Every structure is written in C-alpha cells, then in structure tokens.
Amino acid sequence: MLRNIPKILPPDLVKYMMEMGHSDYLVIADAGFPAAAHAKRLVRMDSVEIPELLEAILPFFPLDYFVEDPVRLMQKLPHEPEVTIWETYRTLLNKYDKDNAFKEFHYLERIPFYEEADKAYVVVQTGDTSRYGNIILQKGVCA
C-alpha cells in the first residue's frame, strides 16, 4: 500500500497514469460512451461519478501547457440545453491546475471526439449519466 493515494483510484488506473508520457490522453467517459470500441486500455469504474474521479486525479495529473487546448469536451448540439456538469469541471480544473495550462475548454463534435479517444493512452468508463460528461485530459510535464 501507498500513502495518500485516494482509495477511489484503482491500482490499474494509477499504473496507467504513471506510464503516461507528455501529451498522452486520458479519457474519462460517461456511462453511455462506447469505451470498449475506442480504448487501447480500459478501466471500468461503473460506480463512480466523473467529478469525484476528477477530484482524485487532478492533484496528481499535470495538464499539458505546451498546447493550447489540454482539455477537450464533446460539443453539444445548438438546440440542446446548457451542460451544467461543465461548470463543475471548470471549478475542479481551476482548483488543481498548478501550471495554469487550462484556459478554456476545447469542444469537439461527436465523431472527432471519438477519433481523439482512439488515440488515448487509457479510457476510464464511469457510471456517470450526465449528458456530455466525457472529458479528455492531455498530460503535461511533471516539474
């Protein structure tokens, strides 16, 4: 056992995050995301909501400040209501982004989002049922 690792983080996810290099992608997916079809490595966390997972990951996970958009979301359709969970993400990112890499979200349409997920080092499938809850984090330099 190790100290101060949040109990919510399973050992395989910690291992994958440790293996990730600069610019690798971590996808945290909602319950409806086709994770098995897009993941090279898949971690299932069906009883976890995305905000609680972000709260556990972000203290350890530097965002890539060498790129303009280290945080990507799936773009909603214009006629759909605002996505309230994104403000929760913004709050958590601003709280833990020590390198000030996060400026604003970058939005991708659904198919381009899936194409980016195909490149991810790891995809975490949660049980979160929030609409448009999927988020891609690009890992930065640990300094």
Residue 79 falls in the annotated catalytic set? no
Instruction: In whole angstroms, give the CA distance from residue 73 to residue 86.
Output: 9
Catalytic residue among 64, 97, 121, 128: 64
Residue with tokens 């890539």: 64
Say which residues have a Cβ less than 8 Å from residue 24's Cβ, sequence separation at least 6. 120, 121, 138, 139
125 neighbors 48 (Cβ within 8 angstroms): no
From the candidates 65, 96, 107, 114, give the one annotated as an active-site residue.
114
Is residue 106 annotated as part of the catalytic site, yes or no?
A: no
Q: Which residues of 4-15 are buried (b: 16+ CB within 10 A; e: fewer)?
A: eeeeebeeebbe
The two three-digit tokens of residue 120, written as one number: 């991810």
Tell me if residue 96 is catalytic: no
List the catalytic residues: 22, 64, 114
